[in-house]
Amino acid sequence: RARGAALVAARRGGHITFHGPGQLLAFPVLDLRRRRLPLRAYVAALEALVLRLCRRLGLGAARALPPPFTGVWMGDSKLCAIGVHCGNRITSHGLALNCCTDLTWFEHIVPCGLEGKGVTSLSHELGQHVAVSHVLEPFLDSFQEVFDCTLVSAEDAG
């Protein structure tokens, strides 16, 4: 509270995390029945999406780990947190990719409930400022590839 943060309970997988400026937040709403996709495979697809994006940006060392280390990692530091909710096979919530996030916010929590693990960002790993706007288009391209779909913007939908 002293730093101006609020604590909000959310119905999704995972433990406490931080959402704020400099993060790409993606909360896909998908019907897993229509996609014939089990929940765990959906989480793995979100990881694959971020890994594909990381490769595009030159971060070949990014990796996904088995639960409870869900998300995308650079060494022992989490680059992207994933927490989903699924009700009636419809997904909500999703992922938070640290682009140019102020990582000091994470010093006040145990991110994702994982003691002794760090948090990193694309900016930190690439050694240059990486704005959310810089990764949005390659993120959407990666989404289309992983989920084998075509995204349509609200403007294009008419």
pLDDT score, position 92: 86
pLDDT at 3 over 60: yes
According to the model, what pLDDT value does residue 23 have? 94
Categorize the per-residue pLDDT at 69 as very low, low, confident or very high, splitting at 50, 70 and 90.
confident
Residue 77 has pLDDT above 70, yes or no: yes
Higher pLDDT residue, 110 or 44?
Answer: 44
* pLDDT score of 78 more than 70: yes
Find residue 85's DSSP bridge partners.
Answer: 92
Greatest pairwise CA separation for the chain in angstroms: 49
Inter-residue contact 63 to 129 (CB < 8 Å): no
- pLDDT at 103 (0 to 100): 83
Question: Catalytic residue positions?
Answer: 112
For the segment 8-64, what is each residue's pLDDT rounded down to a tens digit? 565 555 566 776 789 999 999 999 999 999 999 999 999 999 999 999 999 999 999
Calpha distance 24→30 (Å, rounded) = 18
Sequence-distant (≥ 6) Cβ neighbours of residue 140 within 8 angstroms = 151
pLDDT of 8: 56
For 23-147, give the CATH class: alpha beta
* Binding-site residues: 12-19, 81-83, 94-96
Could you give the CA distance from residue 20 to residue 98 in angstroms, rounded to a whole number?
9
CB atoms within 10 A of CB 2: 5
Binding residues for substrate: 12-19, 81-83, 94-96
Q: What is the pTM of this model?
A: 0.86
